[in-house]
Chain A
C-alpha cells in the first residue's frame, strides 16, 4: 500500500471518529469538539493528497490553511450560539432543547 493510501486511511479514521462523536454526544460542546475532529481529518487528507501526488503542493497547503481559518470562524459562532442557548434554557444538553422556535 502506498504512503498516500495510509495517510488517507488515517484521515478517514479521524473523520469517522468525529462523525460518531457528533451522533453520540449529548451536549452541544461535545458535538463542537467532534466537528473539530472531522475538520482535522479533512485537512490531513488534503495535505496528504497535495504532498504525495503530482498535483500542486502550494494549492493543497493553502487549502488546508483556509480550512483552519474556517474552523476558527465556525468555533467562534458556535460558542456564541451555545452561550445564547445556555442563557435561555440553562442547559446545553441536546435532549433538553428540542424546539426550534421558542
Chain B
C-alpha cells in the first residue's frame, strides 16, 4: 500500500506539472482550459491521498463543474473567432519580459522551497481521519459565522455580476 501511494503521488504530481505547463503556455485558450481541468483532477487525487474525500469531490464539483464552465463561457462570450487564440496577432516580446517572467517564477519558488526544506514542520506520517458528519458539525457549530459570510459573499458577487452587465445594456 505504501508503494502504491507513492506511485499515485508521483503520477498526480506529474499530471499537475504537465497540466500547469499547458495551462500557462498554450496559445489557444481552450487548450489552456483543458490543461487546467487536468490539473484540477490531479489535485482532487491528491486530496484523496490525503484522506479528504469530501474536499476531493467538492473540488471536482465546484472547480470542474462550475468554475471551468464559467471560464469557458468567458472564452465564448468574448471571442469572435472560433479558434480561441489568445492574441489575434501574436507579436514577439522583448527580452526583458522573458527575464521578468522567469524572475517572478523563480523568486517565490526558491524562497518557499527553502523555507519548507530548511524548517520542516512537525508532521504525522498518516493523515488524520475526519468524517463528513464532523465536518458538518464544525460548519454549523464553531464556524457558523464564516459559513454564513461565504453565502453572503456569493450572493453579493452574483448580484454584482448581474448589475455590472445590466447597466451597460440599459445605456445602449
Contacts and interface: CB of A to CB of B under 8 A. Distances in A.
Contact of B139 (A24, A62, A71): A62
A64 B130 CA distance: 14
Contacts of B24: 17-18, 20-21, 24-25, 34, 37
Contacts of B165: 80, 83-84
Interface in B100-150: 100-101, 104-106, 108-109, 112-113, 116-117, 120-125, 127-128, 130, 134-135, 138-139, 143, 146, 150
B16 A14 contact: yes
B70 interface: yes
Given A14-B16, A29-B29, A79-B161, A51 B128 contact: yes
Size category, B interface: 35 or more
B8 interface: no
Contacts of A25: 24, 86
Contact of A32 (B50, B74, B164): B74
B114 to A, nearest CB: 10
Given A12-B113, A53-B123, A73-B156, 4 more contacts: A30-B29, A53-B121, A62-B139, A79-B161
Contacts of B127: 51-52, 57
Interface string A43-78: 110011111111001110110111011111111111
A65 B139 CA distance: 10
B57 to A, nearest CB: 11
B67 interface: yes
Interface in B11-59: 12-13, 16-17, 20-21, 23-25, 29, 32-33, 36, 39-40, 43, 46-47, 50-52, 54-55, 58-59
Interface of B: 9, 12-13, 16-17, 20-21, 23-25, 29, 32-33, 36, 39-40, 43, 46-47, 50-52, 54-55, 58-59, 62-63, 66-67, 70-71, 73-75, 77-78, 86-88, 100-101, 104-106, 108-109, 112-113, 116-117, 120-125, 127-128, 130, 134-135, 138-139, 143, 146, 150, 153-154, 156-158, 160-162, 164-165, 168
Interface string A1-41: 11111111110111111111101111101101110110010
A3 B123 contact: yes
Contacts, number: 227
B29 A27 contact: yes
Q: What is the interface residue range for chain A against chain B?
A: 35 or more
Nearest to A17: B20
Given A25-B24, A37-B23, A76 B138 contact: no
A66 to B, nearest CB: 5
